[in-house]
Amino acid sequence: MKKRVFHPCGNYHENYADQLKVYETDYGRFFAAAGLVVLFGLAPFVSTPYLLYILNSIGIAAIAVIGLNILIGYTGQISLGHGAFFGVGAYAAAFLATRCDVPFLLSVPAAGLITALVGLIFGLPSSRLKGLYLTIATLAGQFIIEYVLVHWEDVTKGTMGITLPKANIFGLEISGDIPFFYVIFLALLVMLWLAVNLMRTKYGRAFVAIRDNDRAAEGMGIPIFPYKLLAFAISSFYAGVAGAIWAYYTVSITAEPFNLGLSVEYIAMVIIGGMGNMSGAIFGAIFITGLNELLRWAIDLMMNMGMVTQTGLNLAPLREFIFGLAIVLFILFEPRGIAEVWRIIRSNFRLWPFSY
């Protein structure tokens, strides 16, 4: 039997393979496995339908945010169009499912690929340039895609929206919260696994090199423009997959939710969760979705107590204000997000009582 490894009190990496390890210790692996057991074995059965719905929303958001994190956190480019790309994924899946009768398992990755292609159209002009032109191009992408989703009626049916057929995996019909819970979280797991391992390959290292210093990266022989484009395509792929699953989950889709607000929400998740950290995407999705629900609950409570009236306080502006405030505060005080806070807490425990 292999020797179990406990937490060391310092950084004892001796070679590159050590540094590339996903789990530092067997504890990490054990807790990850335990977490998965609780997630898949227990969570869907003990939670109420409402809680399950929130969990599913978190899972879908987390997939999109992992993709955005690859772009923002690892490659150092900002996309303000991920809300729209999410929508492209949703519409692509809806189109494939209703017009071409493509089964669920095929239409979701296909929607991701279509979204990646659409992303490339907007990424192509900007990633030739240094600096943050991609941000501006994706802002344009956001508005152009929103327009196309509403006005290209042959494909998107305009404001009518599209109703999707029930998802079907090998004859097994998937509907309702619990089956979707499994689909969403299995997809999240696969996408997370892909992303974590992608970052350990030469592609991932190239992304990080471009983020840290694009001139030096170029000097080291990394062709930065293809790599920037690749990062953007991968990130749009993630958004597309998330959108496709969301479309199946909500059954009927319209172009309304895929606005700039959604893009900003995803950016908030990346920043608050932790840029350049895969677990950050999940923390961010939990935090923002939780915050959303908390605000709704607080306002309901206040209205019931008669402290505020319906006309006096509206959910949307307060939510927007608090999102903005959260982004600003996190950037000012903890730019690496909740993931960093979590790391500090953990290492405090580990190093106690000699935490120097």
Partner 1 sequence: MDFFIQLVVNGLSVGFIYGISAMGFVMIFKSSSVLNFAHGELLAMGAYIFLVLVTWAELPVYAAFLLTMAACFSLGFIVERLFLRPLIGEPLIFVIMLTVGLAAMFKGLILLIWGGNLHTFPDFLPSWLSLSWGSVSVQPVYTLALVVGTIFLVLFGLFFKFSSQGIYMRSVADNQRAALSLGVNVKKVFALSWAIAALVAGMSGIILGIINGVNVHDLSAIGLKVFPVVILGGLDSIGGAIVGGLIIGLLETLTGGYISPSLRDVVPYIVLVFILMVKPYGLFGQVEIERV
Interface with partner 1 (CB under 8 A): 72, 76, 78, 80, 122, 124-126, 128-133, 135-137, 139-141, 143-144, 147, 151, 215, 219, 260, 264, 267-268, 271, 313-314, 316-328, 331-332, 335
Instruction: Please name the amino acid found at residue 72.
Output: I
Interhelix angle 224-250/49-69, rounded to 10 degrees, is: 170
C-beta closer to partner 1: residue 190 or 328: 328
> Residue 189 CB, nearest distance to partner 1 (Å)?
28
Q: E-strand spans in the chain?
A: 162-163, 167-169, 172-174, 252-253
Which residue number, 290 or 324, has a Cβ lying nearer to partner 1? 324
Nearer to partner 1, 192 or 269 (CB): 269
d(CA 246, CA 87): 9
User: How does DSSP classify residue 309?
Assistant: -
Q: Which of 77, 152, 143, 87 is nearest to 115 (CA)?
A: 87
CB nearer to partner 1: give 35 or 335: 335
- CB of residue 340 to partner 1, shortest distance in Å: 14
The token pair that represents 242 in the structure block: 């998330």
Distance CA 12, CA 1 (A): 22
Tell me, what DSSP letter sits at residue 167?
Answer: E
Beta carbon of residue 289, minimum distance to partner 1 (angstroms, whole number):
17
Nearer to partner 1, 5 or 136 (CB): 136
We find the least distance from the C-beta atom of residue 158 to partner 1, in angstroms, to be 11
* 7, 70, 127 from 224: Cα distances, Å: 38, 15, 9
Exposed / middle / buried, residue 11 (Cβ in 10 Å: 0-12, 13-18, 19+): exposed
Q: Smaller CB distance to partner 1: residue 22 or 325? A: 325
Q: Which is nearer to partner 1, 144 or 222 (CB)?
A: 144
Radius of gyration of the chain (CA): 21
Supply the minimum distance, in Å, between the C-beta of residue 339 and partner 1: 16
Of 52, 12, 23, 7, the C-alpha closest to 200 is 23
Q: Find tokens 């001796």 and name the residue.
A: 14
Q: Is residue 33 classed exposed, middle or buried when 0-12, 13-18 and 19+ CB atoms within 10 A define those classes?
A: exposed
C-beta of 33 vs 132, nearer to partner 1: 132
How many whole angstroms separate alpha carbon 260 and alpha carbon 105?
Answer: 29
- Joined together, the tokens standing for residue 36 give 């998965």
Give least dist CB 64 to partner 1, A. 17
**Minimal distance, residue 124 CB to partner 1, in Å:** 8
Least distance (Å) from partner 1 to the CB of residue 157?
A: 16
Residue 174 φ/ψ, nearest 5 degrees: -115, 115
